Structure 1
Amino acid sequence: MSKHTVRFTVDLTINQNQFDAFEAIAQTMIAGTQKEPGALGYDWCLSSDRKRCRIVETYADQIAVLAHLTSPVVRELVPKLLQSSSLNRFEVYGDPGPKAAEILAGVGAEIFPLWRGLNR
Protein backbone atom coordinates (compact mmCIF):
# COMPACT_ATOMS: atom_id res chain seq x y z
CA MET A 1 0.00 0.00 0.00
CA SER A 2 1.50 3.35 -0.97
CA LYS A 3 1.56 6.08 1.63
CA HIS A 4 -1.37 7.81 -0.11
CA THR A 5 -3.56 4.78 -0.87
CA VAL A 6 -6.48 4.10 1.47
CA ARG A 7 -8.28 0.77 1.76
CA PHE A 8 -11.54 -0.22 3.41
CA THR A 9 -12.81 -3.63 4.42
CA VAL A 10 -16.50 -3.80 5.20
CA ASP A 11 -18.05 -7.00 6.57
CA LEU A 12 -21.79 -7.52 6.24
CA THR A 13 -24.26 -10.24 7.12
CA ILE A 14 -27.06 -10.57 4.59
CA ASN A 15 -30.50 -10.73 6.15
CA GLN A 16 -32.44 -13.96 5.72
CA ASN A 17 -34.41 -14.07 2.45
CA GLN A 18 -32.89 -10.73 1.37
CA PHE A 19 -30.14 -11.89 -0.98
CA ASP A 20 -31.89 -10.74 -4.17
CA ALA A 21 -32.44 -7.22 -2.79
CA PHE A 22 -28.86 -7.15 -1.50
CA GLU A 23 -27.50 -8.23 -4.88
CA ALA A 24 -29.49 -5.59 -6.78
CA ILE A 25 -28.19 -2.77 -4.55
CA ALA A 26 -24.64 -4.16 -4.76
CA GLN A 27 -24.75 -4.06 -8.57
CA THR A 28 -25.97 -0.45 -8.51
CA MET A 29 -23.25 0.53 -6.02
CA ILE A 30 -20.54 -1.09 -8.15
CA ALA A 31 -21.77 0.72 -11.27
CA GLY A 32 -21.76 4.06 -9.42
CA THR A 33 -18.33 3.55 -7.88
CA GLN A 34 -16.90 2.54 -11.25
CA LYS A 35 -17.48 6.14 -12.38
CA GLU A 36 -15.27 7.53 -9.59
CA PRO A 37 -11.76 8.10 -11.03
CA GLY A 38 -10.02 7.70 -7.66
CA ALA A 39 -11.70 4.39 -6.86
CA LEU A 40 -8.99 1.87 -7.76
CA GLY A 41 -10.76 -1.25 -6.50
CA TYR A 42 -14.24 -2.14 -5.27
CA ASP A 43 -14.45 -5.89 -4.77
CA TRP A 44 -17.41 -7.70 -3.22
CA CYS A 45 -16.56 -11.18 -1.88
CA LEU A 46 -19.34 -13.58 -0.91
CA SER A 47 -19.23 -16.54 1.48
CA SER A 48 -20.14 -19.90 -0.02
CA ASP A 49 -23.43 -19.95 1.91
CA ARG A 50 -24.28 -16.44 0.56
CA LYS A 51 -24.87 -15.13 4.07
CA ARG A 52 -21.79 -12.95 4.49
CA CYS A 53 -20.15 -10.40 2.24
CA ARG A 54 -16.82 -8.60 2.51
CA ILE A 55 -16.27 -5.46 0.48
CA VAL A 56 -12.63 -4.56 -0.19
CA GLU A 57 -12.29 -0.99 -1.42
CA THR A 58 -9.13 0.79 -2.59
CA TYR A 59 -8.84 4.54 -3.14
CA ALA A 60 -5.97 6.49 -4.69
CA ASP A 61 -5.78 9.10 -1.94
CA GLN A 62 -7.69 11.19 0.60
CA ILE A 63 -9.47 13.15 -2.12
CA ALA A 64 -10.83 9.94 -3.63
CA VAL A 65 -11.98 8.70 -0.21
CA LEU A 66 -13.90 11.89 0.51
CA ALA A 67 -15.38 11.89 -3.00
CA HIS A 68 -16.70 8.37 -2.42
CA LEU A 69 -18.04 9.06 1.06
CA THR A 70 -19.98 12.08 -0.17
CA SER A 71 -21.18 10.45 -3.41
CA PRO A 72 -24.72 9.22 -4.10
CA VAL A 73 -23.37 5.65 -3.82
CA VAL A 74 -22.79 6.17 -0.11
CA ARG A 75 -25.41 8.80 0.71
CA GLU A 76 -28.31 7.14 -1.10
CA LEU A 77 -27.44 3.48 -1.61
CA VAL A 78 -25.73 2.45 1.64
CA PRO A 79 -28.95 3.04 3.65
CA LYS A 80 -30.77 0.80 1.15
CA LEU A 81 -28.04 -1.84 1.41
CA LEU A 82 -28.42 -1.86 5.18
CA GLN A 83 -32.12 -2.69 4.81
CA SER A 84 -31.06 -6.10 3.48
CA SER A 85 -27.91 -6.61 5.58
CA SER A 86 -26.22 -5.65 8.82
CA LEU A 87 -22.77 -4.16 9.32
CA ASN A 88 -20.41 -6.37 11.34
CA ARG A 89 -17.08 -4.63 10.87
CA PHE A 90 -15.67 -1.63 9.03
CA GLU A 91 -11.91 -1.10 8.95
CA VAL A 92 -9.92 1.59 7.18
CA TYR A 93 -6.22 1.17 6.31
CA GLY A 94 -4.17 4.30 5.65
CA ASP A 95 -4.91 7.98 6.28
CA PRO A 96 -8.35 8.95 4.95
CA GLY A 97 -7.88 12.63 5.86
CA PRO A 98 -9.54 14.59 8.68
CA LYS A 99 -12.98 15.17 7.10
CA ALA A 100 -13.30 11.57 5.91
CA ALA A 101 -12.06 10.30 9.29
CA GLU A 102 -14.87 12.24 10.96
CA ILE A 103 -17.47 10.72 8.63
CA LEU A 104 -16.00 7.23 9.09
CA ALA A 105 -15.93 7.54 12.88
CA GLY A 106 -19.61 8.42 12.74
CA VAL A 107 -20.41 5.01 11.26
CA GLY A 108 -18.12 3.11 13.62
CA ALA A 109 -15.18 2.49 11.30
CA GLU A 110 -11.86 1.70 12.94
CA ILE A 111 -8.91 3.46 11.29
CA PHE A 112 -5.47 1.87 11.08
CA PRO A 113 -2.92 4.44 9.83
CA LEU A 114 -0.05 3.03 7.80
CA TRP A 115 2.82 2.23 10.11
CA ARG A 116 5.32 0.26 8.05
CA GLY A 117 5.24 -1.75 4.89
CA LEU A 118 6.38 -2.54 1.40
CA ASN A 119 4.71 -1.69 -1.86
CA ARG A 120 5.81 -2.22 -5.41
Structure 2
Amino acid sequence: MSEHVHWMLELALKDGAAEDFKALMREMVEATRADEPGALIYEWYIDEAETSVHISERYADSAATMTHLNNFGTKFAARFMELARPTRMTVYGTPNEEASAALKRLNATFLSEIGGFAR
Protein backbone atom coordinates (compact mmCIF):
# COMPACT_ATOMS: atom_id res chain seq x y z
CA MET A 1 0.00 0.00 0.00
CA SER A 2 1.06 3.55 -0.72
CA GLU A 3 1.82 6.18 1.90
CA HIS A 4 0.04 8.75 -0.27
CA VAL A 5 -2.85 10.68 1.22
CA HIS A 6 -5.37 12.19 -1.14
CA TRP A 7 -8.80 13.71 -1.07
CA MET A 8 -11.60 15.33 -3.01
CA LEU A 9 -12.94 18.49 -1.43
CA GLU A 10 -16.28 19.76 -2.73
CA LEU A 11 -17.31 23.37 -2.17
CA ALA A 12 -20.28 25.63 -2.75
CA LEU A 13 -19.20 29.14 -3.67
CA LYS A 14 -21.00 31.97 -1.95
CA ASP A 15 -23.07 34.29 -4.18
CA GLY A 16 -20.87 36.59 -6.24
CA ALA A 17 -17.62 35.04 -4.95
CA ALA A 18 -16.37 33.31 -8.13
CA GLU A 19 -13.87 35.94 -9.28
CA ASP A 20 -12.42 36.51 -5.81
CA PHE A 21 -12.24 32.74 -5.31
CA LYS A 22 -10.37 32.26 -8.60
CA ALA A 23 -7.86 34.95 -7.56
CA LEU A 24 -7.33 33.21 -4.21
CA MET A 25 -6.99 29.86 -6.00
CA ARG A 26 -4.19 31.25 -8.20
CA GLU A 27 -2.36 32.44 -5.07
CA MET A 28 -2.85 29.10 -3.31
CA VAL A 29 -1.73 27.06 -6.33
CA GLU A 30 1.44 29.12 -6.72
CA ALA A 31 2.28 28.90 -2.99
CA THR A 32 1.67 25.15 -2.93
CA ARG A 33 3.76 24.60 -6.07
CA ALA A 34 6.63 26.71 -4.68
CA ASP A 35 6.68 25.63 -1.04
CA GLU A 36 5.37 22.06 -0.88
CA PRO A 37 7.39 19.47 -2.81
CA GLY A 38 5.27 16.70 -1.23
CA ALA A 39 2.15 18.01 -3.00
CA LEU A 40 1.81 15.61 -5.94
CA ILE A 41 -1.60 16.64 -7.31
CA TYR A 42 -3.34 19.94 -6.65
CA GLU A 43 -6.10 20.46 -9.21
CA TRP A 44 -9.12 22.75 -9.01
CA TYR A 45 -12.33 22.37 -11.06
CA ILE A 46 -15.37 24.67 -11.33
CA ASP A 47 -18.81 24.02 -12.82
CA GLU A 48 -20.26 26.06 -15.68
CA ALA A 49 -22.46 28.13 -13.38
CA GLU A 50 -19.41 28.95 -11.21
CA THR A 51 -21.19 27.87 -8.04
CA SER A 52 -19.51 24.52 -7.31
CA VAL A 53 -15.82 23.67 -7.02
CA HIS A 54 -13.99 20.37 -6.60
CA ILE A 55 -10.37 20.29 -5.46
CA SER A 56 -8.37 17.11 -6.00
CA GLU A 57 -5.29 16.88 -3.78
CA ARG A 58 -2.65 14.16 -3.37
CA TYR A 59 0.32 14.26 -1.02
CA ALA A 60 3.38 12.02 -0.83
CA ASP A 61 2.70 11.07 2.79
CA SER A 62 1.22 12.25 6.06
CA ALA A 63 4.09 14.67 6.71
CA ALA A 64 3.41 16.41 3.38
CA THR A 65 -0.29 16.44 4.25
CA MET A 66 0.44 18.21 7.53
CA THR A 67 2.72 20.72 5.81
CA HIS A 68 -0.13 21.62 3.47
CA LEU A 69 -2.79 21.77 6.18
CA ASN A 70 -0.57 24.00 8.35
CA ASN A 71 0.20 26.32 5.42
CA PHE A 72 -3.48 26.49 4.51
CA GLY A 73 -4.46 27.27 8.09
CA THR A 74 -1.96 30.07 8.58
CA LYS A 75 -2.04 31.65 5.12
CA PHE A 76 -5.40 31.06 3.46
CA ALA A 77 -8.16 29.53 5.60
CA ALA A 78 -9.86 32.75 6.69
CA ARG A 79 -10.16 34.15 3.15
CA PHE A 80 -11.09 30.72 1.74
CA MET A 81 -13.96 30.28 4.18
CA GLU A 82 -15.29 33.77 3.43
CA LEU A 83 -15.78 32.74 -0.20
CA ALA A 84 -16.79 29.07 -0.07
CA ARG A 85 -18.58 26.52 2.08
CA PRO A 86 -17.24 22.95 2.12
CA THR A 87 -20.01 20.47 1.31
CA ARG A 88 -18.09 17.18 1.25
CA MET A 89 -14.57 15.92 1.81
CA THR A 90 -13.59 12.35 1.03
CA VAL A 91 -10.11 11.19 2.09
CA TYR A 92 -8.38 8.22 0.46
CA GLY A 93 -5.28 6.43 1.68
CA THR A 94 -3.72 5.83 5.06
CA PRO A 95 -3.01 9.10 6.85
CA ASN A 96 -1.21 8.73 10.17
CA GLU A 97 -2.91 9.64 13.47
CA GLU A 98 -1.87 13.30 13.33
CA ALA A 99 -3.08 13.79 9.75
CA SER A 100 -6.28 11.82 10.42
CA ALA A 101 -7.08 13.99 13.42
CA ALA A 102 -6.50 17.18 11.41
CA LEU A 103 -8.69 15.96 8.55
CA LYS A 104 -11.44 14.81 10.93
CA ARG A 105 -11.75 18.44 12.07
CA LEU A 106 -12.81 19.17 8.47
CA ASN A 107 -15.66 16.61 8.72
CA ALA A 108 -13.91 14.28 6.29
CA THR A 109 -15.15 10.84 5.38
CA PHE A 110 -12.31 8.28 5.18
CA LEU A 111 -12.09 5.43 2.68
CA SER A 112 -9.44 2.72 2.96
CA GLU A 113 -7.75 1.19 -0.06
CA ILE A 114 -8.76 -2.38 -0.81
CA GLY A 115 -6.98 -2.86 -4.13
CA GLY A 116 -5.70 -1.36 -7.34
CA PHE A 117 -2.55 0.49 -8.34
CA ALA A 118 -1.19 3.91 -9.24
CA ARG A 119 1.51 4.58 -11.80
The two structures share one fold, judged by TM-score above 0.5:
yes
Letter of the 2:46 partner, please give it. L
Match of 2:6 in 1: 7
Does 2:74 align with 1:87?
no
Fraction of identical pairs, as percent: 26
Partner SS, residue 9 of structure 2: strand
| Deviation for aligned residue 1:9 | 0.5
Does structure 2 conserve the Cα–Cα contact (< 8 Å) formed by 1:9 and 1:90?
Answer: yes
Does structure 2 conserve the Cα–Cα contact (< 8 Å) formed by 1:3 and 1:114?
Answer: no
Partner SS, residue 56 of structure 1: strand
Match of 2:114 in 1: 115
Letter of the 2:57 partner, please give it. E
Partner SS, residue 111 of structure 1: strand
The 4+ residue runs of structure 1 with deviation greater than 3 A are: none
Alpha-carbon separation, structure 1, partners of 2:9 and 2:77: 12
Alpha-carbon separation, structure 2, partners of 1:54 and 1:23: 13
Partner SS, residue 70 of structure 1: helix
Question: For this pair of structures, how many residues does the alignment match?
Answer: 118
Does 2:20 align with 1:21?
yes
Alpha-carbon separation, structure 1, partners of 2:102 and 2:113: 19
Letter of the 1:69 partner, please give it. L
| Deviation for aligned residue 1:64 | 0.9
Alpha-carbon separation, structure 1, partners of 2:70 and 2:113: 23
Match of 1:64 in 2: 64
Alpha-carbon separation, structure 1, partners of 2:62 and 2:14: 32
Deviation string 1:37-60 (CA, Å, 9 cap, x unpaired) is 100110001111111100000111
TM-score, structure 1 normalization: 0.91
Structure 1: unaligned runs, 5 residues or longer: none
TM-score, structure 2 normalization: 0.91
Structure 2: unaligned runs, 5 residues or longer: none
Cα root mean square deviation, aligned: 1.3
Partner SS, residue 30 of structure 2: helix
